[in-house]
Each structure stands twice: as C-alpha cells, then as structure tokens.
C-alpha cells in the first residue's frame, strides 16, 4: 500500500526479516478471522439487547468486539501516524474513539467490524499477487556441465563464469545464456520467447537460460552469469513491478487522502471556535458528532462488498480476478496487448499447405514425410502425422540430422525431410517463400535425391479470435499483438485476426519495455499464457493469463486469469469489470454524499448522535444492496465449433 494510505497493516515479516507464509485461503487471513470474532460478539450483543438482557453484558460484548476489530487497523494506523501518514484508517480510528466518548460503543464496534472485513479482503487479494516466482527459478537446472582443464566437471549454475564452455546434452535445459561454439540442434525456447516451433540452432547462435536442448550435443560459451541471465532478468522485472502494484493506492484511499485531514481540521475548528463563542461541552460534543457523521464506514465497505460480489460472479464465468485493485484496473482498461502463441492461437501446429513437383500428388508427399516422422516427437511431426493417412508405414534406418532434418529409407529408396538450406528447394523456391510469408514453417521432402514437395505447418488462430478482436474494438479498446515469433508469422496471423498493431521478434524484456511505453499513453492490459509473458504481465496496469494452458508463473504473476480456453471470456470479463467499477463509483459517490449531507446537520445540532448513526446504517444497507448487483452476470453463449483442421492446399495455392 502506498505511503499515502493510512490504513492497512504493514507488510508482515518475521523477526529475522523473512516474509511469513502467504495466506492461501480466506480463513487464513488474520483480519478476516478477527472480523469473524467481532461479528459473533456483535451478534451476541444484539440478541441479548433485543431479549431485554443486561445492558452491562451488552456493553462488554460490544467493547470486546471493538477491541478485536480495531486490532486489525489501529496499531498500523498509529505507526503510520508516527511517520506523518494518514488515510481512511486514521479517520476510522478517530471516529471510533469519538463514538466511545459519546457512549456509542456499539457504533464504534460496528465501524471496526466492517473496516476489518475491508482490510482482510484486500490483504487476501494482495497475498495472491505476491506468490509464483518459484516456477521461473525451476527452469534453471540444478547442475551444469562445464569443460575446464580439458575435462568435464559438474557444477552448480551459480558457479558458471563468463567465458566457460558448457556441455549441454540432448534433452537438457541450458543453465545460463551463451553462444553455441560447437553442435547443431533444435531448441525448445517457448519458455523464453514464446516461439511455438522449436528453433534451429548452430554455431554462432545465441541461446538462453531455461531453453531445452533437442537431439544434438552442444558446447556453449557462457556470456552471462546465473545472476544476470534471461531468467534472472525476468525475476527482477516481475519483483519490481509487483512491488509497484503493491504500493498503489486503493480507490477509497485516493479519496481519503484529502478528505481525512479536512474532516479532522473541520472538527478541531468546530470544537475550538464553538468553545470560544459558546458552551465548550456542547461544541466539543458537536465536534465529536461531526466526526462520527463523517466516519467513512460506508465508504470503507462500499468497494469491498462490490469486489466480493463481482469477483464471485466472475469466477462462475471462468474468470479469476485477484481482488479489488485488479477489478478496478480491469474496468479502466483502454488498451489490450495480446501474446500470440497459446493466446490468439491454439498452440497446435497444423499442416496448411503442400506444394509438389512433377506428377507427385500431395498425398504422396505427405506419405513420405509421415513415414520419416512416425518415430519423431517433434511438434512438426505431430502436425504431419495428423494430416497423413492413418495407416502410416514407418521408414527404416531413420536418423536425425541435428538442426537439419531426418534421413531414412522406404523400401530401398533413400528419403529425406528437412529445412530449406539443408535440402535445396529448387523449383519450389518461390512456393517456399510464399509459405514463409504466409507465416508458416516450411519443410522439404526428398525422394531418391529429388525434391518431390514442400509442406507448410502453421499454428492457427483460435476460432473465436477474430470475433474477440471485433468485440474489443467495438468497446473502444485499442488492440496490439506482442510475440516472440518472427515478423512474417506475426503479421500474417494479425491480419487474419484483425489486429493492426504488431510487435514481433520480442524477448521477455522487450515485451515489458513495450508494455511500459503503452502504459504511458493509456491503461493497458497484457494477455499471455507463458513464463515468457511474466515480465509483461507484471509491467502492465493489469496482467491477464490464459489459465487453463498457462504456466503457474503466468497465472500467479497476472491479476486476472481466464481459466478456460475460450478467449471470448476476455471481452466478457472486461465488460463485467467495467460495470462493476461503475457500481463501485456509485457506492463511493453515495458514501461521500452521506458524509457531506450529515456534517452540516450535525454541526447545527439538527441531528443528534442517534440520528446520525441511523442514517449511516441505512446508507450501509443501501450500499451493500447496490454492491450485490455486481454479482449479476450473463453466461456466454455456446462456444463456436472448432474450425476443422486446415486442409492441405494443392500445389500453387497459398495458405
């Protein structure tokens, strides 16, 4: 919370300065447990009072409720006051003290009870945003193999030095950033760049910590230490941005910053001037009534009750909103930045085009490719096998040529499959370029030394992507796409989705930088699903994770998670949050109107303490009822039928 905020507890730490375990359930939040106890005590006092029981017992129960409720905010308020910081908590404390002086212990206890609920709900939401960086660090292997003095040694990643030569075996994760000096491979860099298809790497190629090596053994020259590699930079960005968000003011505190000192000054002036011009006891009492009249009890509960209703309703829609700050930000979003892979696309590469030479048919080209890929786990293999006939006969003597492709035999015929450059496209050069310009990955197929065709594989858009972009545009939102994929792929898919603003070839820190630039212009939300999106999710005014397929760190770093795979939940969540934010503002406006209306009436002695308390209670009921409206939602219509897998196009067609 911000320094300007006078409420809320300080960050909890142990005596050694280590953070306590974050609460994972509502009942683990100290403030909410205190509020529950205070509520039970108040209810008991109310029942005893209605049944004609002892006034002393009622007063004792109310006093205990006051002490329990006040424990959640009075100590922290006093610590902040010692530092010259005031806020809602300051006024709540003064109002409670004033109510006690005037003999209204029950009113003071009610103030403390409602405010402790407000504090507990916010603490819970903030705790949810402070967890989740462990998933990033888990991408770094526990050990690294390094060549020193001509021998291989196993050391901890933290012991790697710039200039060391790492040995990375097939299937291993890379411990830190470096440059390949020996070996070829296909790297799974989805955790770092979001690239959906493994990237071919060879001597001179840069590699990043957390990448997974394919089938080739590598020797990598270390260029950064473990403390400053790609993943470490991601962690630093996330930590810094989460700290910034944790210090942001709540809506009620933004209002309270000028309101609280004004009310305190007004009460002091009333007591002082009134005492000089009339009966001191009368005017001191009126000053205290003014303080109670100005108590922001309704203001304190106005936002949390709306948040609870709105967040609960959102969860039924498959949208996880992490508290009031996230809900407010979601309702204020004017720019939406979308990651491509896994967010706009299905993360399921498919065959979209087949080019052939001579009299070869697309089916023949697919049959040869599928025979070679039958034993492969490569993502392209799954796409090719899915497009081929079901009765694929695997090739024999299949060998993987690291960073290039596959060789083998069908019967006695030698066959090959691989990237352009390893296999020369010949007469298919133009078609291969067309495939690449269309945003696809092209592989060439060779039979007995002759190129017989090329296959284009592409990760297709979600079927609802274009509809979602249209809805976002219709709501007046600006939409941009951020991706680690190459520019050709990005622009091709963006055009299909209806997105005009495209940023491609981005690393995580690049995404975070661009989000920072967008934030300077308008309230910006980032939508992503992977570890590579974590810095951008944290940097944005609001991070939205695709939860069902996202990594833990994306979900934990984000403020909102779409728990299903239907992207239509995004505009639905934005509309829901916008309506909920309007209800919040209505409640805040009503709360302020009550305060403004009661203060002069209390000052002039028109309303006494009992009447002021009654008006406050009625206002609280109205505000709670209005806030509950945020729980009304409309379910999405049935999801559109998934688009059929792209049919391979005949030679001469462009996907």
pLDDT attached to residue 136: 56
The pLDDT, as a whole number, for residue 467 is 93
pTM: 0.59
Q: Which two tokens stand for residue 209?
A: 């910590």
**Rounded distance between C-alpha atoms, residue 585 and residue 490, angstroms:** 39
Q: Domain residue spans in the chain?
A: 30-135+237-312+581-630, 144-226, 318-345+462-575, 348-460
In 3-state terms, what secondary structure has residue 447? strand
Q: What angle do CA 590, 595, 597 make, to 5 degrees?
A: 90
- Please report, in angstroms and rounded to a whole number, the separation of the first and last CA atoms in the chain: 52
Q: Which of 3.40.47.10, 2.40.50.140, 3.50.50.60, 2.70.150.10 is the CATH number of 144-226? A: 2.70.150.10
Rg (CA), the chain: 32
DSSP assignment of 191-225 equals: HHH--SSPEEE-TT-EE-TT-B--SS-EEEEE-S-
CA distances to 8, 334, 495, 522, 540 from 478, in Å: 35, 6, 15, 10, 14
The long-range contacts involving 264-267, CB below 8 angstroms and separated by at least 24 positions, are: 264/86, 264/90, 264/91, 264/94, 266/290, 266/294, 266/599, 267/291, 267/294
Query: What pLDDT is stored for residue 14 in this prediction?
Result: 37
pLDDT of residue 10: 40
**How distant, in Å, are the alpha carbons of 8, 463, 467, 491, 611 from that of 496?**
48, 11, 11, 9, 63
For residue range 435-454, list pLDDT tens digits in order.
888 878 889 999 999 999 99
Please state which CATH class domain 348-460 belongs to: alpha beta
- What pLDDT is attached to residue 188? 82
Say if residues 155 and 146 touch (Cβ distance below 8 Å): yes
Of the listed 164, 188, 339, 566, which one is catalytic? 339
Closest CA to 5 of 302, 238, 331, 246: 246
- Which strands, in side-by-side order, build the sheet including 396-401? 345-356, 450-461, 441-447, 413-418, 405-410, 396-401
Angle, CA of 450, 454 and 460, to the nearest 5°: 165
Neighbouring C-beta atoms of residue 179, cutoff 10 Å: 13
Q: What residues have CB less than 8 Å from 154, skipping those under 6 apart? A: 143, 144, 145, 146
d(CA 104, CA 112): 13
Contact 446, 417 (CB under 8 A): yes
Instruction: Determine the pLDDT at residue 175.
Output: 92
54 half-sphere exposure, CB direction, 13 A CA radius: 5
Would you state the pLDDT for residue 137?
Answer: 59
CATH class name, domain 318-345+462-575: alpha beta
Buried b (16+ CB within 10 A) or exposed e, 281-307: eebbbbbbbbbbbbbbbbbbbbbbbbb
CA dihedral in degrees (542, 548, 549, 555; nearest 10)? 40
Q: Give the contacts of 35 (CB within 8 A, at least 6 positions apart).
A: 69, 72, 113, 116, 117, 120
CB 481 within 8 A of CB 194: no
Low-confidence ranges of the chain (pLDDT < 70): 1-24, 87-88, 91, 118, 121-137, 190-197, 234-257, 296-297, 300-301, 377-379, 390, 402-403, 485-486, 530-532, 547-557, 563-564, 609-610, 613-614, 617, 635-655
Closest by Cα among 307, 330, 328 to 255: 328
339 annotated active-site: yes
In this prediction, residue 561 carries a pLDDT of 79
Only one residue has tokens 């206002």, namely: 619
Residues 413 and 424: their CA atoms lie apart, in Å, by 19
């Amino acid at each position: 919370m911000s320094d300007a905020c006078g409420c809320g507890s300080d960050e909890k730490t142990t005596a050694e300065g280590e953070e306590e375990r974050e609460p994972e359930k509502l009942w683990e939040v100290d403030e909410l447990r205190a509020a529950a106890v205070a509520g039970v005590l108040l209810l008991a006092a109310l029942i005893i009072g209605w049944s004609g029981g002892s006034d002393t017992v009622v007063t004792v129960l109310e006093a205990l409720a006051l002490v329990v409720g006040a424990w959640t905010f009075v100590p922290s308020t006093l610590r902040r006051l010692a530092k010259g910081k005031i806020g809602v908590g300051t006024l709540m404390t003064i109002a409670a003290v004033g109510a006690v002086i005037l003999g209204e212990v029950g009113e003071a206890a009610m103030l403390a009870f409602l405010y402790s609920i407000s504090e507990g709900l916010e603490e819970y939401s903030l705790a949810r945003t402070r967890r989740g960086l462990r998933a990033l660090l888990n991408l770094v292997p526990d050990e690294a193999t390094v060549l020193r003095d001509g021998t291989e040694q196993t050391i901890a990643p933290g012991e790697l030095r710039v200039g060391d030569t790492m040995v990375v075996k097939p299937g291993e994760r890379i411990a830190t950033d470096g440059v390949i000096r020996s070996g070829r491979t296909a790297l799974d860099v989805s955790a770092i760049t979001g690239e959906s298809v493994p990237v071919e790497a060879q001597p001179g190629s840069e590699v990043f910590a957390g990448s997974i090596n394919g089938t080739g053994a590598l020797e990598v020259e270390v260029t950064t230490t473990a403390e400053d590699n790609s993943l470490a930079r991601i962690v630093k960005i996330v930590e810094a941005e989460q700290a910034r968000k944790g210090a942001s003011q709540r809506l009620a505190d933004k209002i309270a910053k000028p309101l609280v000192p004004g009310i305190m000054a007004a009460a002091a002036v009333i007591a002082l001037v009134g005492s000089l011009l009339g009966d001191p006891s009368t005017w001191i009492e009126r000053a205290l009534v003014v303080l109670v009249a100005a108590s922001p009890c309704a203001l304190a509960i106005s936002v949390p009750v709306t948040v609870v209703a709105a967040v609960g309703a959102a969860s039924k829609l498959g949208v996880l909103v992490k508290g009031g700050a996230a809900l407010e930000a979601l309702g204020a979003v004017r720019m939406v930045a979308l990651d491509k892979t896994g967010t706009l696309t299905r993360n399921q590469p498919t065959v979209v085009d087949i080019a052939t030479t001579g009299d070869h048919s697309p089916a023949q080209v697919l049959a040869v490719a599928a025979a070679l890929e039958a034993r492969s786990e490569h993502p392209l293999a799954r796409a090719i096998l899915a497009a081929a006939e079901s009765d694929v006969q695997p090739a024999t003597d299949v060998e993987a040529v690291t960073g290039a492709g596959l060789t083998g035999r069908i019967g006695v015929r030698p066959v090959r499959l691989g990237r352009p450059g390893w296999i020369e496209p010949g007469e298919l050069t133009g078609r291969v370029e067309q495939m690449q310009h269309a945003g696809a990955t092209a592989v060439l197929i060779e039979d007995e030394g002759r190129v017989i065709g090329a296959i284009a594989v592409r990760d297709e858009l979600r079927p609802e992507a274009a509809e979602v972009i249209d809805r976002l545009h219709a709501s007046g939102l600006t939409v941009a796409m951020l991706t680690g994929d190459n520019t050709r792929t990005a622009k091709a898919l963006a055009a299909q989705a209806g997105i005009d603003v495209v940023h491609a070839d981005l690393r995580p820190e690049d995404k975070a930088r661009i989000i920072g630039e967008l934030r300077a212009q308008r309230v910006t939300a980032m939508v992503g699903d992977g570890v590579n999106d974590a810095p951008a999710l944290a940097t944005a005014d609001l991070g939205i994770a695709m939860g069902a397929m996202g990594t833990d760190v994306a979900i934990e770093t984000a403020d909102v998670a779409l728990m299903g795979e239907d992207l239509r939940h995004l505009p639905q969540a934005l509309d829901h949050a916008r309506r909920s934010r309007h209800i919040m503002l209505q409640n805040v406006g009503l709360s302020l109107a009550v305060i403004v209306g009661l203060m002069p009436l209390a000052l002039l002695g028109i309303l006494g303490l009992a009447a002021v308390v009654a008006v406050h209670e009625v206002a609280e009921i109205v505000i709670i009822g209005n806030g509950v409206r945020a729980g009304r939602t409309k379910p999405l219509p049935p999801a559109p039928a998934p688009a059929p897998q792209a049919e391979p196009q005949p030679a001469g067609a462009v996907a």
